[in-house]
Chain A
Amino acid sequence: MSDLDPAPEPALEPAPKPDLENSTPAAALRGRRFGPRLAHAVARSDTAVVTVLAIFAALIVGAVFMVVTTPATLAAWGHFTANPGAALSSSWNLVAGAYGALLNGAVGSPAAYARALSSPSAAHLVSAFNPVSETLAATAPLLLGGLSVSLAFRSGLFNIGAQGQLIAGAVMASWVAISLPGLPIFIHLPLALLAGALGGAVAGWVPGFLKARTGAHEVIVTIMLNYVLLNLLIYLLSLKAFLASGQVNSISRTTPASALLPHLLGPQLRVNAGTLLALAAAWGVAWLLRRSTLGFQFRLVGSSQGAARAAGVDLPRVITLALVVAGALAGLAGAVQMLGTAPQLVPGYGQSLGFTAITVALLGRAKPGGVVLAALLFGAFQAGGLQMQAQTSVPLELVEVIEAVIVFFIAAPALVRTIFKIRTSAGGFRVLSQGWGG
């Protein structure tokens, strides 16, 4: 993340006041103690520190949720005065067990790694590296979707339509994949990916064009297009062209092998080239924003429409293009799903991936580097959450609660400061998006 700034600011105030170490940065830095330095970092709105604190706070909120929604633990708290130890230990066991499973499911367990090291058989290796593989596989579509929303954000647009664009991309990718069987993989796969990007681009062009021509707000249009595309998918799944033969359920034919993204770590681990593609896309978006004339226009329009107009920028064209590129990225997210870990179309394809992408973009502050980290974290949550659900009584939905609370704290940094009792004289956080101004 470009905002990571480990260098402490030079001490400005000459006289440290030892009794107020929390509020004077100079004293805080002189002491080099963690707490005061942390306070100073948050007071300066240090993005990385605020983000880490938000994640930490969200995990605590998640723990409270676990405790109050588990009847046995809650009952133990009912007898707190009689037996405080039981309440505390049962809560600890519950939370530690769940988060332990989450962590193991996301990055792997030490035991499995040790076993793989001592006797490196294929089965041991697969079980050791499966969590990382799952995390990376889940990261790919989240990253592409997050980039889509971020690019729109940076252009001053709120792309709520990543979900619909993702479906459009998945449908197009699926169609090319199943209707052109027998092509060699080096033609078939790129063609299917391209079709996916194209599908998303068209789905992004519609709100872009409408906004540029008529001023129709992209938030409304993209939300509505989500429903249109969701139901279009259900219709398509009734057609012979998509429907798997011999199936009564609405489920499409599976993607043929020649259009599947190649696995990176052997056939049993699901991580595939989609993750590399998503990372390349992150680099591409970073290049686009920083090193291209089009990106300059995107940022210019996103930062000040008045100045953009006075500078002679063709606003309708740039707004349309921004949503086309954002749509293509979301479409690619759908294609990567379709040609990777979820190779069959079903109604409601992608579940809420397109909305999680908004969260990823917010967490990553709409910067490509930040979005990569945010997507990795959410990928880890997703992979770990499944493991947590399988091993403990805690449902997968808890992960969604944690994700939501993270964004809640990110969107309200003043809240983080209040909770961690950080006093500051310099107020004011940067606002990520101009939001609804249109």
Chain B
Amino acid sequence: MRVDLQHITKRFGDLVAVDDVDLTVEPGQIHALLGENGAGKTTLMNVLYGLYRADQGQVLIDSQPVQLRSPKDALGAHIGMVHQHFVLVPVFSVAENVFLGDEPVHRLAGFLDRRRAASEVRRLSEAYGLAVNPEALVEDLPVGVQQRVEIIKALVRQAHLLILDEPTAVLTPQETRELFQVMRSLRQAGQSVLFITHKLGEVMEVADQITVMRRGRVVGRTTPQATSEAELAALMVGRAVEFKVQKGLARPGPVVLDVAGLAVADERGALAVSDLSLEVRAGEILAVAGVQGNGQTELARALFGLLRPLAGRVTVAGRDLTGASPRRMARAGVGYIPEDRQREGLVMTFSVSENLVLDLYDRAPFGRGLVYHPDQVRENASRRVTEFDIRTASVEAAASTLSGGNQQKVVLAREFSRPLKLLIASQPTRGLDVGSTETVHRRLVEERDRGAAVLLVSTELDEVLALGDRIAVIYRGAISGYAAPDTPREQIGLLMAGVQPQSAAGSPAS
């Protein structure tokens, strides 16, 4: 099946998310759609999957124009999609999930034909090398296997083109390799795969054809043979990338954050961090690397008092703050850049000026006792907006009207308005454009140079390598090893996958 997207344009208000894009997927092709977050990849795919209606342009399947008004239309046209966030029922079995909404009914009795469902799942999983047990409950399965369930769901509905939206974001390197195997066997069977990603290495490894998008437009079409990672990166960001952040040598001082034997449960009560110990010194950045879901989120939340540790000890500048509330942490000089800035970092309906004092509204000069001074808050905001170059219509505009980068600048401006001994930054550049990412990186380094201890949690290896003075790798809730920033990526990748290297690379807190 050959799919042609012609002159697709999709606007959201004033924003042109997808601008006159042409894309062709040949049968039996793995087509990578490469671009930064916000480049319009997912929007384009949602148009193809019938979730959005394009403002202009058309979709052709085998040269016939088709109307895709809903995912049902898309499935009818043999287009399937696996979203970044899976839509599975945790307490249902694999087979039940696969056939949900499209249940095979027993021909005579008229009820659900479980046996046929299970055998169909088994047949598909064998055909494409998707090792999945149809009787297993989805909640018991690792993320990588859940993803296979999603793929089987699409295949059962006879998808000839499979759209995978950032499929490797949640996978370990090992699971990623397995996924690529699955993609190759799909290709062999004549299926097409449209693979959305922003990771260059994966594109080079698995794609037949590459389309690069930037700011809603196609900026390059190429093949892995005809290009290089550096060239792709340049296309993606529109200029030669300087992955290396400008920073001098760290001058580590005394230990500021001392964590020993920490254990933390996640929100469902499962143990996410166990027996974790680490130290961060004044004037250094400790970067915690790891594949998402290995406890780094819970670690950061627990260190700021948002989750109560089950065991262990947390000391900040010599004071025991185990189990302290976020308020006490903040008062002790701890800054926190949350992973989910829209849920924890900001109040989207509050104005920029109010967001800049979320934790300071009751302190002079913003408030005293019961009285709150909006004028002081506004005045503070106009200073901060200038200082941090926050692009906003006014300090009274709601935070939701700002771009992601500017929202993050608001969070930074607020946290940096207190004198910090320790800064915990959890995925501080997730979803930001290159310019904002640079700003955030620069500010983190400045904070380090000012003498703060910085704990950076990131799933982006490039960020970890660029910023970390030391790198700690977190795996299954504990630090699996330390590395120096000049360690080869592959070696860190092994640590992230839980493989202990033979030679000790780096050592904890020299």
Chain A residues packing against B (C-beta within 8 Å): 290-297, 299-300, 303-304, 306-314, 426
Question: In the complex, what distance in Å separates the CA atom of A293 from the CA atom of B366?
Answer: 9
Chain B residues packing against A (C-beta within 8 Å): 13, 304, 306, 325-330, 336, 338, 340, 343-350, 354, 358-359, 361-362, 367, 369-372, 374
Q: Which of A295, A304, A310, A311 has the most CB of B within 10 A?
A: A310
Q: Which of the residues A295, A303, A312 comes within 8 Å of B347, measured between beta carbons?
A: A303
Question: In the complex, what distance in Å separates the CA atom of A253 from the CA atom of B141?
Answer: 69
Question: In the complex, what distance in Å separates the CA atom of A322 from the CA atom of B191?
Answer: 58
List 13 additional contacts besides A293-B372, A300-B358, A312-B325; criterion CB under 8 Å: A293-B362, A293-B370, A296-B367, A297-B361, A299-B350, A303-B350, A304-B346, A306-B343, A307-B343, A309-B326, A311-B358, A311-B359, A314-B325
With a CB–CB cut-off of 8 A, which chain A residues contact B326?
Answer: 309-312
By beta carbon, the residue of chain A nearest B363 is A293
Residues A292 and B371 in contact in the complex (CB < 8 Å), given A303-B349, A312-B327: yes
Residues A294 and B347 in contact in the complex (CB < 8 Å), given A311-B359, A312-B359: no
Q: Which of the residues A290, A293, A310, A314 comes within 8 Å of B361, measured between beta carbons?
A: A293
Contact across chains for A296 and B338 when beta carbons are under 8 A apart? no
Contact across chains for B347 and A300 when beta carbons are under 8 A apart? yes
By beta carbon, the residue of chain B nearest A312 is B327
By beta carbon, the residue of chain B nearest A296 is B361
Question: In the complex, what distance in Å separates the CA atom of A172 from the CA atom of B376?
Answer: 41
Question: In the complex, what distance in Å separates the CA atom of A307 from the CA atom of B349?
Answer: 11
16 A-B residue contacts at CB 8 Å? A293-B361, A293-B367, A295-B372, A296-B354, A296-B367, A303-B350, A304-B347, A304-B348, A309-B306, A309-B326, A310-B326, A310-B338, A310-B345, A311-B326, A312-B327, A426-B13
Question: In the complex, what distance in Å separates the CA atom of A304 from the CA atom of B306?
Answer: 15
With a CB–CB cut-off of 8 A, which chain A residues contact B306?
Answer: 309-310
Contact across chains for A310 and B344 when beta carbons are under 8 A apart? yes
For residue A420, give the distance in angstroms from its CB to the closest CB of chain B. Answer: 23
For residue A193, give the distance in angstroms from its CB to the closest CB of chain B. Answer: 21
Q: Which of A303, A306, A312, A314 has the most CB of B within 10 A?
A: A312
Contact across chains for B372 and A292 when beta carbons are under 8 A apart? yes
With a CB–CB cut-off of 8 A, which chain A residues contact B338?
Answer: 310
With a CB–CB cut-off of 8 A, which chain B residues contact A306?
Answer: 340, 343-344
For residue A399, give the distance in angstroms from its CB to the closest CB of chain B. Answer: 34
Contact across chains for B361 and A307 when beta carbons are under 8 A apart? no
With a CB–CB cut-off of 8 A, which chain A residues contact B354?
Answer: 296
Question: In the complex, what distance in Å separates the CA atom of A312 from the CA atom of B359?
Answer: 7
Question: In the complex, what distance in Å separates the CA atom of A300 from the CA atom of B13?
Answer: 29
By beta carbon, the residue of chain A nearest B370 is A292
Contact across chains for A290 and B13 when beta carbons are under 8 A apart? no
With a CB–CB cut-off of 8 A, which chain A residues contact B325?
Answer: 312, 314
Contact across chains for B370 and A307 when beta carbons are under 8 A apart? no
With a CB–CB cut-off of 8 A, which chain B residues contact A296?
Answer: 354, 361-362, 367, 372
With a CB–CB cut-off of 8 A, which chain A residues contact B13?
Answer: 426
With a CB–CB cut-off of 8 A, which chain B residues contact A292?
Answer: 370-372
For residue A308, give the distance in angstroms from its CB to the closest CB of chain B. Answer: 8
Question: In the complex, what distance in Å separates the CA atom of A154 from the CA atom of B446?
Answer: 39
Question: In the complex, what distance in Å separates the CA atom of A291 from the CA atom of B372?
Answer: 5
Question: In the complex, what distance in Å separates the CA atom of A300 from the CA atom of B343?
Answer: 12
Question: In the complex, what distance in Å separates the CA atom of A193 from the CA atom of B327?
Answer: 37
With a CB–CB cut-off of 8 A, which chain B residues contact A299?
Answer: 350
With a CB–CB cut-off of 8 A, which chain A residues contact B336?
Answer: 310
Contact across chains for A314 and B327 when beta carbons are under 8 A apart? yes
For residue A265, give the distance in angstroms from its CB to the closest CB of chain B. Answer: 35
Question: In the complex, what distance in Å separates the CA atom of A308 from the CA atom of B306?
Answer: 11
Question: In the complex, what distance in Å separates the CA atom of A306 from the CA atom of B349?
Answer: 13
Question: In the complex, what distance in Å separates the CA atom of A311 from the CA atom of B359?
Answer: 5
Q: Which of the residues A293, A311, A313 comes within 8 Å of B371, measured between beta carbons?
A: A293
By beta carbon, the residue of chain A nearest B329 is A312
For residue B457, give the distance in angstroms from its CB to the closest CB of chain A. Answer: 15
Question: In the complex, what distance in Å separates the CA atom of A310 from the CA atom of B347?
Answer: 11
Residues A310 and B304 in contact in the complex (CB < 8 Å), given A293-B367, A300-B347, A300-B358: yes
Question: In the complex, what distance in Å separates the CA atom of A291 from the CA atom of B378?
Answer: 13
For residue B324, give the distance in angstroms from its CB to the closest CB of chain A. Answer: 10
With a CB–CB cut-off of 8 A, which chain B residues contact A314?
Answer: 325, 327
Question: In the complex, what distance in Å separates the CA atom of A300 from the CA atom of B348?
Answer: 10
With a CB–CB cut-off of 8 A, which chain B residues contact A300?
Answer: 347, 350, 358
With a CB–CB cut-off of 8 A, which chain B residues contact A312?
Answer: 325-330, 359
Contact across chains for A307 and B358 when beta carbons are under 8 A apart? yes
By beta carbon, the residue of chain A nearest B330 is A312
For residue B378, give the distance in angstroms from its CB to the closest CB of chain A. Answer: 13
Question: In the complex, what distance in Å separates the CA atom of A295 from the CA atom of B367?
Answer: 12
For residue B424, give the distance in angstroms from its CB to the closest CB of chain A. Answer: 11
Question: In the complex, what distance in Å separates the CA atom of A81 from the CA atom of B362?
Answer: 72
Contact across chains for B347 and A307 when beta carbons are under 8 A apart? yes
Contact across chains for A291 and B358 when beta carbons are under 8 A apart? no
Q: Which of the residues B346, B362, B374 comes within 8 Å of A290, measured between beta carbons?
A: B374
Q: Which of B340, B345, B358 has the most CB of A within 10 A?
A: B358
With a CB–CB cut-off of 8 A, which chain B residues contact A304?
Answer: 343-344, 346-349
For residue A355, give the distance in angstroms from its CB to the closest CB of chain B. Answer: 27
Question: In the complex, what distance in Å separates the CA atom of A243 from the CA atom of B338?
Answer: 60
Q: Which of B348, B350, B369 has the most CB of A within 10 A?
A: B350
With a CB–CB cut-off of 8 A, which chain B residues contact A297?
Answer: 361
